[in-house]
Structures are given as structure tokens and as C-alpha cells.
Structure 1
């Protein structure tokens, strides 16, 4: 390195403008500091600063480049960054004495830089107090920036927004017991908690209802600013607090100019649940308990109603609008609107948006829409509908609309109904409103009823070209009919046989005419005998052909049944866990059983309809031969009426069947739930209460069954009436033809026989229409399974096979939250590294995210942010099924299958290895009780392991986890159901097994976690502490507190 003898020019180089410390200083102070820089030069390869050395100077590069390098675990050089002209490094060296360099910077070309030594800077601060004042200001601003990025939701604000926030926050102190915000006061500043704890509460009729507890990094006061209302709650300091206040003007500026800030505020507001009564958290116990440790409040009837009223979703809507720019109301009245019924109450928003898509001509899958609007266990929000519609190609406005603007509001629109439901409004006039309710279908409401139940919030839509690019739903019958393609030749033979059978049947009336007109008049007994024999032969041939046809179709039915069941099982097992979390077991079972019903309908009714159609075609052909006039009369008098009846009933049967299937699914779920929990039901003596609940649910189901049966009875009655009228009309015209000698008596008898042979098959086909509608509904419900995206997509060719892993696991800023824009994160940027063979214990309060973390580790839940790396490879790039074979997993609730103990231990292996099974049982301390059973390892344990105790099931689960000797083991409360002696025996066995294996253990018992190599402490989804047991106890943080609670310290 060489230092230039000549001072640099009085005018400061442009590169110094990038030094953040100098940005705060006025021009005269800045010039003093700039004059203290010296110019230095470095040759190619020369070290500018070395990792670990004292940080004693700041550098600003003027020309050339430099590489930032860090030493790896094996002292190899790891390149981190390349610095170029204008870049600054070492800024913290001026402010933090005894700071060490964290990386090496080496010149990668001849380089010139400006250097400011800390000693020179410190002397300047001593001689010029003004410089010191701005240094203090910079330090405070730097600390504030770090705080905002580390503890608050504003870490990802762009630099401009962060700068406005930093400049606008005003520090203040609040003593314990003082009110920061009072309910009912005008809107004021938004506050960010720097230190201390506060609580928010609402005063209802003199009763204080605790709503929220606030800690470091939380913010409050934003609701009234965003909505322009008075304060909705009071906030009291529980301890001495340090706060930062953001004035309303700067808040409005940030909301208007920075979408990320507005998004954070809206998500926070939409996540508020004003019906929830907050319990005192453990970290508030010292200040609030026992004074606030009273039991749940007994609410008055008025308070109960008030608490049951959801807070209006204002934060999810645009401001109240008077103009609908870009959203057009249709010129003509919408008379017909598509109907999509919800599968359950949570799907109302998704079903409503699906109907809007269908109205605009795009047959978008309900499954795709459900995912787009983030349907969760509590349904979806207005914000979710808006975001989902935008992703599908709509221009959307989520708005609060004055009810006086209802006549000019663009339609169709999705309305918020009674604050807990969604429906589509597609026409309105002075007296009535026409809506489609996903729970009930089309409805005509009194306008007064609409205005009384509509909350005023609506989603308005205008389609864009992007909507045309959204994939459409596959045909409900298309995928099912595809299974019949390999049997086209056999089906063609069956069709030919159907026509042969029909032709044989038609010979009987034809020969009857010949007998009446010719044989009887000629008194020819020999010809009569021959014709009767021919008729008998034709009838016998028809019967034999029909039997052969049924055998062929039955063979096809068995094969199609097997293939559809196998395909559906493959698709179902490939679905992610999120699919099963969002649906009831009974509903899934109902959908699967619908496939068998649909197959039986398709085959059995298909055979009948095929035979009937063949018979109709042949009979009509013969009828045309005898009298084309009578044939046309018959067809014109019956076919249009049948067609109109079928069209009319279709629009009513499908919604009826869909509602019926939904109710059956709910009822079956209730039955399954009741049987699984029968032990709890009997223990609580709740049989009678449960029976009434099931009876009420069945009453709803039986009402829908009755409406469906009544509709079918009317339909079948109408079919019979049309059939009778057409026959009466034919007989009258046929008799006139005989009277006018245009037709013989034999011809009339024969024609009448053909009409009868034609009429019954037509009635059969028409009456099968309702069965076809039922089939379409059943197959449509299966689309929910077939169209859902499989785990890791349909194409696995790009995934990396996992034959073995070393056990090196890295959690990289892992985040997870359940679907829905208002859902709080369960995991929030968790990051730590686990070397092979490390024993990791994960601890934290209930609900801190421990189980979610390990489910993400095993790929059972898909992270919404960050990633997990196995041996340096991202989890999403690995074949998940092969990876899970390398992980032994013990869940909190372990399912046992209705099989033998050996089959349960070796589950997933077709032929269990007896020696391996017994070894795994010994490791889990299960061999003793297993060998005492009469059948030993071949004992069947019943459905869900009902014949075993909780501790025995847990030991079987541990044996199953270690059976394959996986390199990674995960235990989620794996010994919680064991007694102390059994736990000690299992722990001793596992200690030997875990040698050299990576393991993750979740436990509340200190004895289980204290020997771990690393202890990870989670709090509200964040990693707050890590280290060994001794290190964490020394820090006396959250882990120390949890251990103290357990030990009674």
C-alpha cells in the first residue's frame, strides 16, 4: 500500500456522497470530515483489510475493484462480494471501538481509495463537538434501522420508505399504568414498541375486555388512522415503556406512496379478531397476575351479541366510492347466471368467484379458484377474493358501496352477506334482487331483505385478456370416459349385438301382421306352424345375443372398476397434506364412493340405455316401412316434449344432487367423528346430546332427500303422461286410417305393437336422464381430487433422487403461514444449521411453531418462505418420497393400522424382516409386552390400534421410526405417554442408536432435552435462543424461564 503525498483537491470526490454517516451532516460539518480523508493505493492481490484484524478505518473505493473473502470451515476462501468504484466498507469501524473485521478485502486490480482512520476521526470529534453530535444522531438512527429490520414487520420496506419511517419516528417514554391511547378519542399517532409491554382492551358497558398484549416490535394505533375513525380500543402500559410515535401526516404519506407499508398495515388490521378475549401471556405474568387472573368473564346477552358481530372488513376494501370508473354495468338484464354450489360453508367466496368466471365465459376449475382465494378453515376474506380474482385475470375493486348506489353498481358483484357469507348479485330493480347463493342456488329476494343483510362491502369485476389464458376445467365425464377407450372394439361388438337383439325382437310384430293378413285368411296351418317356429327362433336368438352382450359389458365393467380405483388411489396419495387439512374425512370418503356408484350407473344403465336405443332405432325403421305419416305423427307428438322436459329438469336436478352429496358428506363425517371419539362420548355421558346433534343433521339431509324424491316423482309422472298422450293420439289417427281404408287391421295391430316396443325404450332412456345427472355430479365432485396439484407437481423427472443423506440440514429463513391473507405467520424466518450427527432439541411454549417446524422438515407442510437444505440441496428439488424414507418420524398422534404388530412396525415394506422387526421393538422397549401377547408380533391390534394402550402405541411408533435405521430421526413428544421407567429404558436405547445420526427432538421434559448438542428455543414462530443447556441457563432468558417453571424454581 502507498499513501499519496499530495492532499486531495478541496472539492470532495463524488464517491464520498455514498457515505451514510456524512449524509446527515450539514455542508460545513461535512467538509471538515471530508478533509480528513487520505488517498491510498493498492496493487493487484494486496490485502486491504484482513479478517479478524482490528477495524480501525473506513474506505471509499475511487477506482479499481476488490473482492470480499471469508474463510470457510476448512480455511478455504469463500468469495462473498465484489466491490467497485464508489462502494464503501468499514463504516462501523469509526463508531465501535475494538471492533474486528468480519471478512478479508483484497484488491483484484490496481485500486485507489480514500481512507479515514478512526484515530483521526476521534480527534476530529473531540475538537469539533458538532461532528460528535451528528455521530450520535447517526448511531441512534442506525440502531433504529436495525431495530425495525430485526423486530418489526417493516423489515422489507424499500429504502425510500424506510428513510421516511426513520425520519418520522419520535421517541417517547410512558410509565407503567399510564394510558397511551384511550377508546373513543380522535385518531392520533401510530406507535411502535421499542421496550416494555402494553395491553389493549375495549370497555363495553363498564366491563373491560382484554383484546391484545403488545411487546417489543409490535405496533398499534394504525386502525383509526387507516379507517379515519376514532380510537377503537384503549392501550395501557403494563411496564415502563419506550415508544416511537409516527404522526398521522407521515402515516398517510407512507400508505399513499409505499404499497408494502400499506400491505403490512392492512394484513395486521385484517388479522384482528375482535370477538376473541385474550388470556394473559406468561411473559406478562409478573405485572398482571394474580390481579388479572380471574376466570373467563360472564357476558351479558347484549355483550354476547356484540362479541359475535365480526368487525367490518374496512381495511380490506378501498375507500367508499361514488364512481365506478372502468367497471361497466351490463346494458341488458342478466336473466341466466351460472350456479356453482359450495361443498361446505368455507367455500362460499371461492364458489362465488367461480360463478363470475363462468359468467364471463371461462370455465375455470373450482379447485383452482379455491387455491387462488386462499380458502382456509375459516373461509376467505374480501382481500382474498380480490387477490384471487386478480391472479385469474380480472381487474377488481374491493369497495364499500353506499346502498343508494345499488342501482348503478356494476354487475355481477360478489356481496358480503350478514358479515359471514358471500353471494353473487346479478340483477336488481326497485322491488327485488336476483342473487345466486352458493349454499342454496338461485334466489329472488325482496330488495329490503338484501339491503338489511348486505354489509355494504362488495367485489366488482372487469375481465381482462389475461382471463383467456387461465386453464379451464376438464369435462366432468371426459376423464371417466377415457377409461373405456382401450375397450372400443369390445364396445362396438356390444353395440352390434344390441342391434341384433332388437332386430330379433322386431320380427315378432312383423310376422304377426303377416299371420293376421295372410295366414288366417288362407287357413294355412303349415305356414302358421313354420312362422311360429321362426318367431320362437328369433326370440331365442335375441335372448342369447343379449346374454353375450351383458357378459362382454360385465367384463369391461370389472376392468374399468379396477383401473379407475387404482388411478384415483394413485392421485389421492400423491396430493399434499394441505389438501387433507382443508377437507373432512367423510366428504373425501363420499367422493371416492361416488366413483363406484358412477361406474355402476354407467355400466348398468348404459347397457339398458344402449339396448333401448337400438330397439328404438330398429322399431322406428320398421314403422316408417308401414306408415311414414303415422311415424312422423308419433315422433313429433312425443320427442319435443320429452326433450323439453329433460332440459327443464336438468337445471334443477344438478344443484339438488350437489346439495344432497354435500349433506351426505357432512353426515358421514359426523358419523366417523362420533365413532372415533366413542370412548370420550361415553366417558362424558354425552350419548344423548350427540344423538340429538346427529338427528338434527340428518333432518337437514332428509329434507334434501325428500325434495329430490319429490322432483323425481313429478318428473317420472310427466314422462308417463307424455307417453299416454302420444299413444292416445296415435290410436285415434290409426283408427281413422283404417276407417278410410288407408291401413289394414293387421297393419294397425303391427304398427301398434311397434309403437309399444318403441315407447317403453324411449321412456326408459328419458327416465335415465336423472340418473345421468347424478352421475355427472358424482364425477364432478371427483374433479376436486383429480384437478388438485399433486405434491411436487405432476412431472417428477426433474427431481433429484435421494438414495442416502449424511444428515446435514440447514434451515434458511424458513417461514410458514396457513392460507389466507389475514393469517398470522406460524414460523417467521427461522434460520439455523445442523451438522451431521447433531442432536437438536426444539423447545418453546405451546403454539410456538415446534411441530410446524418439523413437519416442514419432513415436507409434510410446504414452507411459504425460505427453504430447507439437505446436504446443500434444497428440499423442493429432492424427490420427497425418497427423502422421507431417510427420515424416521414419530408424530404427536401416531396412527396404527388394522394389521399385525409386525406389519405396523415395518409399515411400507411388503415383506417385514422378522429380525429387523424384533430389533426395532427392543430399541423402543416394546419387545416385552409384544412377546407376552398370545400371537406375539402377529397379533392384530384393531382399527387405529384400539387394542393397545397409549404408551404401547407410542412404543410401536418409535419402533416403526427406527425400523429402517434412517440417518435422520424426528421425535415430536415421542415419549409423552410413557411412564418414567419406560422413558428411561427407551432413552438409553435411543442414545446408542442416535450416535452418528442427526436427530430432532421436541419435548417438554427437561430430562429429554438437556443432553442435546443444540437447543433451539422458539417463541411465536421466531427463533429467540440457541445453544447448549448450560449456555442457555447462564443467559437466563426464555429457556431458563421455561425450565424454572418445570422445576418450580
Structure 2
């Protein structure tokens, strides 16, 4: 009992964790539960320790994962009426293909933390439709350790380091902003002097001097504002360039699994998040610093004029601040929902454009259009909800500070009549008050933006902290090949599966590929031939066993990819000319070598017959080349690299037998190792040896 009470007293509240991959809802739910008891885990680090499957997670695997995190799971089968008896938070099996966390039961429904959509309230009717009857309770076991350390989640300070010279430019903007604010702070003094010293006392001699002084201040203010805008524009452009290129650089170095587990629309939306971060760092970050200091200075000025009036202003400001605070989580949730809706729209558009022939053949234009409209309506509704919240905040601001203005004028007028303050000081106070409210409102808005930027930073966490591949780049090495590289491949007890709950794709594979050998791999679809090829190229890591290249483990052979080329089924041509595609956009390609590789791939005559020849624009969804022509251009690209080992995955499936035979004869003359996946008997007969997977 003491152990249980200890955790109940010290555990943090349940915090939402959103999934980054379509199939990691179970992983996100377990992280939420573990953090509830004080584990202080981040989704990206748990994902790295326990890689999930792109095919989802079973209840058995979910409980095994919880046990590895020192949580004791208890799987229950129950009816809907018994949900209030569960020890919350717990995990519910949802809609046959999803997991969610039950936070608490209410009279009319339940509060659900959905890793896909966020915090939701579902009525009893929805619960009855979605809840499958399976729930999992958790409790920390004796090995569970609370972690009160600092979160590893990326923040805006971590991103700032990617901008060279940021601190210097930011300091310039801050100093100029202070000059601008100083000019504005002198305005109430000008107003008070005119009222008390000139209008009331009739001291007209100093009016001309005051006029000249404040005309100078106006010009100085305008020049400072212009310079500040120029620096911010420059800072924004430079930071945007460096941040976006850094994100792309990190993204492109991530393993293939990262891209296989995510939709293209979701990846595209990460760059939208980078844009939002850029705007916040270069504008709100600096402005909030200046406005916070100006709020402090104007409060001091107001207190010096009249503490009573200042107290009234602070009371109304606190009410506005409290309303903002109470609506922050709703604001954050709506921002997350909008980002996800945008990603779904992008994904639908990308899929539709890439599948136009199939859509037309199956006459599904209206269906795809209707589905697009539904996703777009969902996005618009999320945007409307977000704008409605912003409008309510804006309306409340007008009401709160409108009433505050009336109260200050009423009490200030009484104080002036009673002789406690002069008319000039009252006008100066009102001017300072307006400056204070303006600065405070800006600070609150910018502070909210700074807090909400965490939504965008969280979306980039899997890119920033993703485990990158380490391979030598060909472009960074002066030599093309190492003569000592023979390319002997040895596979020992190799096994692969996508997750601990999944069946083995293949297991206990043992074979050797000798240098110069032509090895063909065949077998029924779905037995793991392409997966095996990706393991041999280092694109996927086997779960068990070992691959060695020239007696050196592939896992530590960082320059291995310099000596291999591949043509996979899913390979596509990139936007550019045929020449650029064959040379893979090399800066100064050898045209003679390009033509030689095209000749080896039996595509040279067909390229020469095109009006633009090798400069014909292809790729980017272009259908100017047939399937067989595309395969041969991809093969020419693979040969252009001068590989020692060539991996081909159904690379001749669209070719006629005459072309295939000629290509095989051409490649045989190169004396390179070939590992080929094929089904056709005509292809298999060219091989020195055939391995059958089943």
C-alpha cells in the first residue's frame, strides 16, 4: 500500500504523446502510461530502443514492451458498463485497429487520449461503437525508476544553434528595438509637458524647443524601425535557409525504414513546421524579449504616476492573462489537429496525382474528388475552430480593456478633480497605460506562439533525433575504387522480421556469393526476396545473423555502398534530363561514359531517336518513356557508378527476351558480381546459380 501511495503522490499528470508513424499508436500509449508514473520518456528514444513494425503491434507485443519498461500489464476483457471500474489511465483496444489511453470516465462519456488525434471526449454511444472489449491496466513494478531529469525533447534553443551569427543579429535587433521603444516612451512626457507646462501655465517659450525635439524623435524612430525591419528580414531569410537545409540534410540521411513507415504528406508537413519555427524564432522570439522588458518599464512609470490606477490596470490585465492560460491547451490541440488535417490533405493529393491512370480506368474520379472534399472540409473546420478561438480571445480583449479604460478614466478624472494628480499626469498615465497594454498583449500573443511552437518542434523530433546511417559519400572520396575490394558476400544464419509479434520473413539463411558470380534469387511473392536484397545492400538491418563483405561485417563497412549499385522495383526517375538521370546529377558528367552505359543497357539508340536526345526531360511523373525504357535508363544509371556488385530486383520484368539477353551479355563482359531477383525462367537461365526462397 505504501508503494502504491508513493507513486500516486509523486507521479506527474497524464500528458498526451502523439504518434509520428501510422502504426505506432501502441508505442505512444505505453509511453503515456510510463510517463504518468514518472518515467519521463520521449517517444523517439523508446522507438529507437524498441523498433516497431510497419504492420502494427499486437496486444501481446504491447504487454511485452510494457514489461521491458518495468510496468506490469494486466489484460482484461470487459463490457462497456465496467469501464468505470478500470484503474485509469489504461489502454483500450479501439476500433479493431487502434489503441488509445482512457484518462477518466465521466457521467456522459470518457476522456480519451488518442495518439492519432489528441485529447477527445467520447459519448457512451461512440464508446459502444469503438471499444472492442479489451483493456490493459498497468502498474509500476519493483524495478520501475522515476526519472526527474531534464526532458530530451528538442526545444527552440536547440534549433537556434543551426543559425550562424544568430546571436549577433538578434542583439542588433534588440538594441534597435529598445531605441524604438525609448522614442515611444518619451511621447507621454511630451504630452504631459504640453498640458501642464504650456497649456495650463501658459509657458509658450519652451513649445518650439519641444516641437523640434519630438520631430527629431519621430525621424529617429522611423529610421530605427526601417533598420530593424531590414535586419529581421535578413535574419529570417538566413535562418529559414539554414534550418530547412539542415532538416532536409538530417531527413535524407535517415534509414529507409523511416520513409517506409510514414506517408509522403506527413513528411511534407514537417517542412511546413520548419517554416513556422523560422517565423517564430526570427520574430516572436526577439519581440517577446523586448516587449517583456517594456512591460516592466511601463509598469514602473505608471506606479510612479499613480499606484491606484496602476492596480486597476493590473487587475484587468490579470483577467485577460487568466483567460489566455485557460484556453492554451485547447489552442494547442486545435493547432495539432490542423497540422494533421493538412498532412492528410497533402497525402490524398499526392496519392491521387500519382494514381491518375488507375483512377480513370476504374472510373473513380468522383470518389477521389468526394474523398478530397471530405478531407478539405475537415481541414477547413479545424481552421474555423482555431479562428473562432482566436476571435473569442480578441473579443474578450476588447471587452476587458474597454471596461478597464472606462474605469481608469472615471477614477482618474476624480483624482484630477480632487487634486491628487494633474491633468497632464493623467494624460501621461493613459498614454503609458496604452503602451503597457499594447506591449503586454503582444507579449502574451508571442509567448503563446513560443509555447505553441513546441507542436511543430515535436513533429520534427523524429528527424532531429532519428538514428542516421553512417556511410562514406562517394563525392567526398578522391579515389573511385579500392583495388583490394573483391566483393565476396557471406551470409550466416540470417533472419529478418518486422517486429517481435510478426512472423519471420526468412530465417537461418546461409549462402556465399563469390566475386564475379551471377546469383539469381527466386521464389513465390511475399517470401522476402526484396527484403533480403535490402539487407544485402545495407538498407535494412537483419534481426539475427551476419552479413560479411570480404570477411568484414557489413554493419561496420561504412564505404561499402561506394562499390555497389541497385535497381529496385520501386525506383523512379527524377525530374531532369536523361543525361542527368543516368549520371545521377553529377556536377560534370562524362558524356562518353553516359553513352557507353546507355549502350550497355540497350537504350542508346532509342535515346538518340528522341528530338532532344540525352537532354530530353523526364521524371517527376512524366510518362514520355515506356516501362521497359525506364528500367533500362535505371540500369544505365546503376552501371554509370562502375559498381563491383550489382543488385537487381525484377529489373528486367518489362523487357523483351531479345533485349534482356543482349543486356546480360553486355554486363557479363564487365566481370562484376550480380545478385538478381527474378521470376521468369528466361532470366534465371542466365544465372550461374539459383537460390529458391520459400
1:661-740 matches, within 5 Å, as 661-740=339-418
Contact residue 12 and residue 35 of structure 2 kept, 8 A: no
1:808 aligns with 2:485: no
Instruction: Pick closer, same or farther for the CA change 1:985–1:456 going to 2, 3 Å.
Output: closer
Contact residue 902 and residue 938 of structure 1 kept, 8 A: yes
1:830 aligns with 2:505: no
Cα distance, 1:712 vs structure 2: 1.7
Q: In structure 1, how many angstroms separate the alpha carbons of the residues matched to 2:692 and 2:3? A: 52
Contact residue 720 and residue 763 of structure 1 kept, 8 A: no
Contact residue 612 and residue 765 of structure 1 kept, 8 A: yes
In structure 1, what is the equivalent of residue 643 of structure 2? 966
In structure 2, what is the equivalent of residue 856 of structure 1? 535
Comparing 429-438 with 383-392, which one deviates more in the overlay? 429-438
Deviation per CA, 1:95-135: give whole Å up to 9, x if none.
xxxxxxxxxxxxxxxxxxxxxxxxxxxxxxxxxxxxxxxxx
Q: In structure 1, how many angstroms separate the alpha carbons of the residues matched to 2:654 and 2:12? A: 62
Q: In structure 2, how many angstroms separate the alpha carbons of the residues matched to 1:524 and 1:328? A: 76
Q: In structure 1, how many angstroms separate the alpha carbons of the residues matched to 2:538 and 2:585? A: 18
By relative contact order (CA 8 Å, sep 6+), the higher-ranking structure is 2
In structure 2, what is the equivalent of residue 217 of structure 1? none
1:992 aligns with 2:669: yes
Scaled by the length of structure 2, the TM-score of the pair is 0.91
Contact residue 571 and residue 786 of structure 1 kept, 8 A: yes
1:336-355 matches, within 5 Å, as 337-343=14-20, 346-355=23-32
In structure 2, what is the equivalent of residue 547 of structure 1? 226
Query: What secondary structure does 1:969 align onto?
Result: strand
In structure 2, what is the equivalent of residue 568 of structure 1? 247
Q: In structure 2, how many angstroms separate the alpha carbons of the residues matched to 1:836 and 1:333? A: 62
1:338-737 matches, within 5 Å, as 338-343=15-20, 346-370=23-47, 374-400=51-77, 409-428=86-105, 433-443=110-120, 453-462=131-140, 464-468=142-146, 472-483=151-162, 486-606=165-285, 608-635=287-314, 637-737=315-415
Contact residue 601 and residue 632 of structure 2 kept, 8 A: yes
Deviation per CA, 1:792-821: give whole Å up to 9, x if none.
599xxxxxx9946202001111111113x3
Instruction: Pick closer, same or farther for the CA change 1:621–1:676 going to 2, 3 Å.
Output: same
Q: In structure 2, how many angstroms separate the alpha carbons of the residues matched to 1:369 and 1:335? A: 19
Comparing 329-338 with 640-649, which one deviates more in the overlay? 329-338
Cα distance, 1:348 vs structure 2: 2.6
Cα distance, 1:899 vs structure 2: 1.4
Query: What secondary structure does 1:423 align onto?
Result: strand
1:932-951 matches, within 5 Å, as 932-951=609-628
Contact residue 499 and residue 618 of structure 1 kept, 8 A: no
Task: Say which structure is richer in helix.
Answer: 2
Cα distance, 1:961 vs structure 2: 0.7
Q: In structure 2, how many angstroms separate the alpha carbons of the residues matched to 1:366 and 1:939? A: 46
Query: What secondary structure does 1:346 align onto?
Result: coil
Instruction: Pick closer, same or farther for the CA change 1:772–1:971 going to 2, 3 Å.
Output: same
Instruction: Pick closer, same or farther for the CA change 1:330–1:857 going to 2, 3 Å.
Output: closer
Task: Say which structure is richer in strand.
Answer: 1
Instruction: Pick closer, same or farther for the CA change 1:445–1:599 going to 2, 3 Å.
Output: closer
Query: What secondary structure does 2:466 align onto?
Result: coil
Give ranges in structure 1 of 5+ residues lacking alignment.
1-323, 795-800, 1020-1049
Taking only aligned residues, the RMSD between alpha carbons, in angstroms, comes to: 3.1
1:1005 aligns with 2:680: yes
Contact residue 898 and residue 943 of structure 1 kept, 8 A: yes
1:925 aligns with 2:605: no
Q: In structure 1, how many angstroms separate the alpha carbons of the residues matched to 2:341 and 2:190? A: 54
Contact residue 435 and residue 444 of structure 1 kept, 8 A: yes
Instruction: Pick closer, same or farther for the CA change 1:449–1:620 going to 2, 3 Å.
Output: closer
Contact residue 328 and residue 462 of structure 1 kept, 8 A: no
Cα distance, 1:471 vs structure 2: 9.0
Q: In structure 2, how many angstroms separate the alpha carbons of the residues matched to 1:697 and 1:447? A: 26
Q: In structure 1, how many angstroms separate the alpha carbons of the residues matched to 2:106 and 2:621? A: 58
Cα distance, 1:559 vs structure 2: 2.5
Cα distance, 1:954 vs structure 2: 0.8
Cα distance, 1:737 vs structure 2: 0.9
Q: In structure 1, how many angstroms separate the alpha carbons of the residues matched to 2:570 and 2:126? A: 48
Query: What secondary structure does 1:558 align onto?
Result: helix
Cα distance, 1:404 vs structure 2: 8.7
Q: In structure 1, how many angstroms separate the alpha carbons of the residues matched to 2:114 and 2:167? A: 42
Contact residue 590 and residue 665 of structure 1 kept, 8 A: yes
Instruction: Pick closer, same or farther for the CA change 1:495–1:718 going to 2, 3 Å.
Output: same
Paired residue for 2:463, among 772, 776, 785?
A: 785
Contact residue 638 and residue 722 of structure 1 kept, 8 A: yes
Contact residue 486 and residue 515 of structure 2 kept, 8 A: yes
Query: What secondary structure does 2:687 align onto?
Result: coil
Q: In structure 2, how many angstroms separate the alpha carbons of the residues matched to 1:404 and 1:328? A: 27
Q: In structure 1, how many angstroms separate the alpha carbons of the residues matched to 2:55 and 2:451? A: 31
Contact residue 94 and residue 132 of structure 2 kept, 8 A: yes
Contact residue 288 and residue 447 of structure 2 kept, 8 A: no
Scaled by the length of structure 1, the TM-score of the pair is 0.61
Comparing 825-834 with 349-358, which one deviates more in the overlay? 349-358
In structure 1, what is the equivalent of residue 424 of structure 2? 746
Paired residue for 1:844, among 523, 527, 552?
A: 523
In structure 2, what is the equivalent of residue 904 of structure 1? 581
Give ranges in structure 2 of 5+ residues lacking alignment.
473-478
Q: In structure 2, how many angstroms separate the alpha carbons of the residues matched to 1:410 and 1:784? A: 31
Deviation per CA, 1:11-68: give whole Å up to 9, x if none.
xxxxxxxxxxxxxxxxxxxxxxxxxxxxxxxxxxxxxxxxxxxxxxxxxxxxxxxxxx
Contact residue 836 and residue 998 of structure 1 kept, 8 A: yes
Query: What secondary structure does 1:885 align onto?
Result: helix
Instruction: Pick closer, same or farther for the CA change 1:520–1:429 going to 2, 3 Å.
Output: closer
Cα distance, 1:904 vs structure 2: 0.8
Q: In structure 1, how many angstroms separate the alpha carbons of the residues matched to 2:589 and 2:512? A: 35
Q: In structure 1, how many angstroms separate the alpha carbons of the residues matched to 2:375 and 2:309? A: 54
